[in-house]
Amino acid sequence: MHDLLITNARIHTLDAARPLARRMLVRAGRIAALDEAVPDAVDAPVLDLGGATVVPGLIDSHVHLVWTGVRHFALRLAGVTTLAELRERLAAAAEQRAPGQLILGLDLDMEAFDPAPTAADLDAVAPRHPVLLKGDTGHLTLANTLAMQHFAVGPTTPGWHADGRLIGAANTAVAWRGPNEFAAAIGWERVLRAAAEEAARVGLTTLHALEGADAADDPGVRALLQQASRLPVRTVVYWQTTHVAAAQALSLPRIGGCIWIDGDFGPHTAALKQPYADCPCTCGELYLSDERLQAFVDAAHTAGLQIALHCVGDAAVAQVLRAYRRALERWPRADHRHRIEHFEVYDDDLLREARALGIAVALQPAFDGYFGGIAHNAQYLGWERAQRADAIATFDRHGIPIGGGSDSTVTPLGPLYGMHCAVNHSNPRERVTPERALRLWTIDNAYLAFEEHDKGSLAPGKLADFVALDADPLAVAPASIKDIQVRLTVMGGAITYQRAAPDGNAAPAARNAWP
């Protein structure tokens, strides 16, 4: 915790009592005073920001931190579209890792290949290594023979395909265990620090970290809890397990995250009420039975935990809302803040039910910009449903609490890009104002984790988490929000990131600053 005096800044506090300020005093890691309440003589390091814009520390409500850290060390496959290039990349990775060590690849786009790669192709290049190549949304994996043997997936596993494609339950079996095994080989400290430093560079001071497999123990969750106090970002851990007692044993007040109730549009595993437009033979699939889901929700709810569950399709949302309703009717709880992650397809009934039950939604505005918006969704949903996908303003109109996230590594960490997508949504009905978008990554996300009294706005007594930007996101042209750069990220009064000036020195200059 540190003392600091910020001067010569345009400070958007998001505090109704004082929306704008020019000076801010930090004492012991918390905000002590603003503007005229700051004493004339202050014994603290001074940062003159030269008129830069300051906003509250940015919060991402949906990050897979282990996946994000692993991305710095894994095989990167974005843009690879030929078998020849894939073989070349994989052969190079095999040379760098000892036989038997897992090779993990990310961002594989199976649809870009003709013909598509298979397990046999991977076996031919890396016969002595288990190989997992993950699609960009995490809901499809291509595995070679050794990997399928290693993770015990085969013909009896739902979602297994003989060509090595894993979806549904087969994909779930490797989705979290694979990156955990890879991270352990690299070193947990290196992996988690790489992710945390990336977060600080884009202005994030808190991450809702959705981690781990559905098991009674998870090495990634344990590693994160052990390392958390040494990272340059705060973490709010959601363990993706249905083992309630295990979460309680770690004193976690919340549970879930991407406990997958369904999958995603691309592999046609998102559960829809009506068939897919491009594949009318299927409505996707629900991964959990009503009975199993209800038993978990009942156990977590009665234990007093906040619950978060992944739902992409409207049928998945409906299933989860039924489970939440039954638990809340049997054991009422006024301020539970149970969450739905994504909620990508809505209808009026679902919106009314979510509002009535007090459900909060962690959404990802970057999906709209990153994956192609309405036109992309229409491929799978048809035009009418595509206009009811990736909503933002609709939730506001129905009084449903929401917060913004990236789902990193599905889209990169980048709250300013997420804000840009919320303001410039491909569906004009879903666009929000720049101020509303800023709130999604600050006070709204603090609310989603019961932290609004400590984070999300800049007011005396709150944590001194804030970001200095080189332009004002509330004043620039909406199309320029994505181009705003982070100058400085501060967590608890300590600088966690400071952008280098063109001459190589840190900027802005700090007097009496600590290392």
CB 199 within 8 A of CB 233: yes
- Model confidence at 378: pLDDT above 70: yes
pLDDT digits (tens, 9 = 90+) for 193-238: 999 999 999 999 999 999 999 999 999 999 999 999 999 999 999 9
CB count within 10 Å of CB 179 equals 29
> Using 50, 70 and 90 to split pLDDT, how confident is the model at 40?
confident
pLDDT at 507 over 70: no
State pLDDT tens for residues 120-129: 999 999 999 9
Burial class (CB in 10 A: 0-12, 13-18, 19+), 502: exposed
Residues 6 or more apart whose CB falls under 8 angstroms from that of 37 comprise: 25, 460
List pLDDT tens digits, range 260-295. 999 999 999 999 999 999 999 999 999 999 999 999
Q: Are 446 and 455 in contact (CB under 8 A)?
A: yes
| Cα atoms found within 13 Å of the Cα of residue 356, Cβ hemisphere only | 13
Closest CA to 473 of 39, 52, 25: 52
Tokens 């998870």 found at = 218
pTM: 0.95
pLDDT value of position 43? 87
Single-letter amino acid, residue 240 = Q
Nearest C-alpha neighbor of 238 from the set 216, 207, 217: 207
Q: Whose structure tokens read 């909060």?
A: 360
Residue 467's alpha-carbon distances to 64, 488, 498, in angstroms, are 22, 6, 10
Q: pLDDT at position 500, please?
A: 83
**Residue 502 pLDDT:** 62
Q: Taking residues 5-16, what's their average pLDDT? A: 97
Contacting residues for 322 by C-beta, under 8 A, at least 6 apart: 290
User: Residue 512 — pLDDT band, cuts 50, 70, 90?
Assistant: very low
